[in-house]
Amino acid sequence: MTDLHTQPSAATPAADEALEVTREEAAQALRPAPSPEEIARLREDFPILTRTVRGGKPLVYLDSGATSQKPRSVLDAERDFYEHHNAAVHRGAHQLAEEATDLYESARERIGAFVGAPSREIVFTRNGTEAINLVAYALSNANAPGALDGVDPEIADRLRIGPGDEVCVTAMEHHANLVPWQEFCRRTGATLTWIDIDESGELDPELSAITERTKVVAFTHVSNVLGTLTDVPRIVEKARSVGALTVLDACQSVPHIPVDVADLGVDFLAFTGHKLLGPSGIGVLWGRYELLEALPPYVTGGSMIELVRMDASSYAAPPQRFEAGVPMTAQVVGLGAAVDYLSEVGMDRVAAHDRDLVAYALERLAERPWVRVLGPTDPDRHVGAVAFVIDGVHPHDVGQVLDDSGVAVRTGHHCAWPLHRALRVPASTRASFHVYTTREEIDAFVEALDRVPEIFGVA
């Protein structure tokens, strides 16, 4: 990696000492964003950023909200695993199996430390979507006869959800944190409710959808469309006041800002590797251990068992209980390298850089009266992305114009159809950023955007 090594890697002995300082404290004393020269050196770690597209135009990648690019250290970590350590973890007694298991569990420790969690509370999944589904299906399995035998009665009561109970989401959720709860309610007889948003994209400040009947509140930390940072403490406080479990979709926050699960106060948190400079095919569920320990499994089979007989089986303790089958070890190793990379840059500096990019993008777009930004216009309320519409021009056409200039953005409803309906737009264009994004790329983006009114006759 480049010389942005400004704090110890989570893989070093200093990681344990670093956990004594909460990420909230770090955020209150933010160091400055990396300088343009530092970002230029950092970009050298990302091979794909040197390529050209569309007839030799430099790639301007502003679609990190969909998937981030990967530094060489992540690519090398995966390749090194396959070349030198490839074996099934937790299964063999030979040296390769021991090495593979050590690499896998070491990555779990560092990934947990990255979000302020002990390794035993970190469950690996295929992606953030599966992490949320794991919670939803495990909770529905809790209703099966005998599923909660031996569980503390108070915890068991929180986990049993059925007719007369409610699950509350928000109108700005990604489909990954909406459809699983729709299905959960269909299976259990619970009722789905939601916190509405107004036309500016703000949630109902009264949170009136959370009632005494609410048993689960599932909500996003950062909107994948608007980039809006949710007031987590307020929602958690309201949920706790009625005894509801909280499930946080942190897929768009963990890559951009310091996140500490203890500070957030939620019960479960999900994020994904491919938005975090890591590989595809790996996601993470964090859960409070007493809840993970009480929940029945989601997928059953090998590796997650304690004792198997022909007539019945008992299950391993978390996190293994939720990791049936041979895991995606190379991807876990790659994600460990990704959190090492971001830890070395410093998540406070990543957040400061992100804030600068968002503010600059909003400033440049405000100079164009024919662009209508969706959601709050305060840069302090945005993380990682800016979405907008150009009235009279379909976002797909906007995306095509930008792509012709080598600028990659996302267009459509971004797996958030209800949010777009609430905002009364069929779709939007989203520019999203990461630690390797530069102000010059935002300039190239808005200059390419200036072609839209010329082509489509927008006044």
pLDDT tens readout for residues 256-274: 999 999 999 999 999 999 9
Query: Do the Cβ atoms of 406 and 366 come closer than 8 Å?
Result: no
pLDDT tens-digit map of 351-365: 999 999 999 999 999
Name the CATH architecture for the domain at 82-342.
3-Layer(aba) Sandwich (3.40)
363-410 pLDDT, tens digit each? 999 999 999 999 988 888 889 999 999 999 999 999 999 999 999 999
> pTM for this structure?
0.92
* 245 beta partners: 216
d(CA 199, CA 3): 45
Main-chain dihedrals φ then ψ at residue 120, nearest 5 degrees: -70, -10
Q: Which of 120, 85, 382, 403 is nearest to 225 (CA)?
A: 382
Q: Is 185 marked active-site?
A: no
Residue 335's closest CA among 286, 291, 416, 274?
274
Which phi and psi (to 5°) does residue 426 adopt?
A: -75, -25
CB atoms < 10 A from the CB of 111, how many? Answer: 27
- Residue among 168, 185, 251, 415 flagged as catalytic: 415
What's the pLDDT score for residue 29? 52
What is the model's pLDDT at position 30? Answer: 58
* DSSP for residue 330: H
CA 238 vs CA 59, 82, 144, 254: distances in Å: 45, 47, 29, 23
Contacts of 35 (CB under 8 A, 6+ apart): none
pLDDT of residue 251: 98
Cα–Cα distance list, 206 to 211, 230, 234, 238, 376 (Å): 11, 14, 10, 10, 18
**CA-CA distance, 332 to 126, in Å (whole number)?**
10
Give the angle subtended at the CA of 331 by the CAs of 328 and 337, to the nearest 5°. 145
Query: What is each CA distance from 281 to 127, 201, 308, 327, 340, in whole angstroms?
Result: 6, 31, 29, 10, 19
Q: Which helix (H) or strand (E) holds 407?
A: strand 407-408
Q: Check if the beta carbon of residue 277 is closer than 8 Å to that of residue 71.
A: yes
Q: pLDDT truncated to tens, each residue of the chain (459 aa)? A: 544 433 333 333 333 444 444 444 444 455 899 999 999 999 999 999 999 999 999 999 999 999 999 999 999 999 999 999 999 999 888 999 999 999 999 999 999 999 999 999 999 999 999 999 999 999 999 999 999 999 999 999 999 999 999 999 999 999 999 999 999 999 999 999 999 998 778 899 999 999 999 999 999 999 999 999 999 999 999 999 999 999 999 999 999 999 999 999 999 999 999 999 999 999 999 999 999 999 999 999 999 999 999 999 999 999 999 999 999 999 999 999 999 999 999 999 999 999 999 999 999 999 999 999 999 888 888 899 999 999 999 999 999 999 999 999 999 999 999 999 999 999 999 999 999 999 999 999 999 999 999 999 887
Separation of CA 277 from chain center: 11
